[in-house]
């Protein structure tokens, strides 16, 4: 009898064991906001962390090449540089993750001033201890709520990256038209907003995100991840629309002058205009923003 029980139990445990593979937990900690687990997979040479297993990974690096971008979406996000008609001087990141995006930015644009806003002090600690993140004279972390920071800061930015997540959701107050208008108010002329939207294509949340960005900004461009459910939304303050050829040429110029190790030109060619995604979905507001419920509501045409 006991043998049968053991056999059944090991059968149940087996797939779990396989799924975890060679990954091992190297650190975990309960912060004020989440249970953070840092995992390492020596075979794949990846180190990542998550706060909610079901909702996926929040940040990560290659252990043998921490300066490279592990995630496809992070690379796509840098296509935003092609929408800025000048060199970026002041850049803001909302949501630190493992810090690889600002670090990457800093590597190719060492002269730019980078501000990073992160709500959870434990994440800051982990980025520094496990993901080789270093603050410097022109790359500073501010421990604060993203929206409160945006409202209070007197600074104006060339680029603002929005990548704040709580589990799998963007906190609702960072998805509303009021927030986007506040963000727009912190952009310099011709400035660019870059937003990582992790979403199934499509659900009500995705459609509402398109509608809200579309309403808040003159132009919205969308880049779709091929290997992931990430979409990069790029919204510009300028009312001049960018053509595909123009974006491509600009990407080429940046690629040549900065020698980035991502295929900026290839990515730039995948640009889509928001017309292709436009629906009559509801615009999210401070009064109405059921982000997490909308994420689980499918859209039927």
- Cite the active site residues: 163
Residues 24-43 that bind another protein (CB under 8 A): 32-33
Please report whether residue 12 would count as binding another protein according to CB under 8 A.
Answer: no
Task: Give the nearer residue to another protein in terms of CB position, either 65 or 297.
Answer: 297
Burial of 153 (0-12, 13-18, 19+ CB in 10 A): middle
Q: How far is the CB of 242 from another protein (least distance, A)?
A: 31
The length of the chain in residues reads 301
The answer to whether residues 110 and 88 touch, using CB atoms and an 8 Å cutoff, is no
Please report whether residue 285 would count as binding another protein according to CB under 8 A.
Answer: yes
Please report whether residue 176 would count as binding another protein according to CB under 8 A.
Answer: yes
Within a 10 A sphere around the Cβ of 217, how many other Cβ atoms? 23
- Which residues, 6+ apart, have CB-to-CB distance to 295 below 8 Å? 168, 169, 199, 200, 203, 204, 205
The answer to whether residues 175 and 272 touch, using CB atoms and an 8 Å cutoff, is no
User: What is the dihedral sign for C-alpha 201, 206, 210, 213?
Assistant: negative
Please report whether residue 145 would count as binding another protein according to CB under 8 A.
Answer: yes
Taking CB under 8 A as the binding criterion, the range among 58-66, 89-97, 145-153, 230-238 that sits at the site for another protein is 145-153
Please report whether residue 119 would count as binding another protein according to CB under 8 A.
Answer: yes
Please report whether residue 75 would count as binding another protein according to CB under 8 A.
Answer: no
Q: How far is the CB of 298 from another protein (least distance, A)?
A: 13
Pairing assessment for the beta strands 187-198 and 230-236 based on DSSP bridges: antiparallel
Among 13, 21, 87, 288, binds another protein (CB under 8 A): 288
**Residues interacting with another protein, by CB under 8 A?**
32-33, 119, 144-148, 151-152, 166, 171-173, 176, 178-179, 285-290, 293-294, 297
């Amino acid at each position: 009898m006991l043998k049968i029980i053991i056999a059944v139990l090991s059968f149940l445990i087996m797939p779990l064991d396989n799924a975890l593979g060679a990954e091992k937990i190297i650190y975990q900690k309960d912060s004020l906001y989440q249970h953070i687990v840092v995992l390492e997979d020596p075979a794949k040479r990846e180190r990542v962390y998550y706060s909610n297993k079901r909702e996926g990974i929040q940040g990560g690096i290659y252990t043998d090449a921490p300066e490279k971008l592990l995630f496809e979406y992070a690379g796509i996000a840098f296509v935003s540089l092609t929408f800025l008609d000048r060199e970026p001087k002041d850049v803001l990141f909302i949501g630190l993750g493992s810090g690889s995006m600002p670090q990457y930015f800093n590597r190719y644009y060492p002269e730019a001033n980078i501000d990073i806003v992160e709500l959870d002090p434990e994440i800051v600690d982990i980025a520094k201890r496990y993901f080789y993140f270093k603050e410097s004279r022109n790359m500073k972390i501010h421990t604060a709520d993203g929206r409160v920071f945006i409202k209070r800061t007197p600074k104006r930015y060339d680029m603002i990256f929005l990548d704040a997540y709580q589990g799998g959701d963007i906190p609702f107050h960072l998805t509303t038209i009021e927030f986007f208008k506040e963000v727009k108010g912190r952009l310099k002329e011709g400035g660019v907003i870059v937003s990582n939207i992790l979403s199934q294509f499509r659900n009500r949340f995705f459609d509402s995100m398109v509608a809200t960005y579309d309403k808040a900004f003159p132009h919205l461009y969308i880049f779709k991840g091929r290997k992931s459910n990430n979409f990069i939304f790029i919204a510009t303050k300028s009312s001049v629309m960018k053509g595909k050829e123009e974006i491509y040429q600009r990407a080429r110029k940046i690629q040549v002058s900065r020698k980035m190790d991502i295929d900026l030109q290839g990515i730039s060619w995948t640009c889509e205009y928001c017309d292709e995604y436009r629906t009559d979905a509801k615009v999210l507001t401070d009064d109405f923003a059921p982000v997490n419920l909308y994420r689980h509501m499918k859209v039927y045409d």
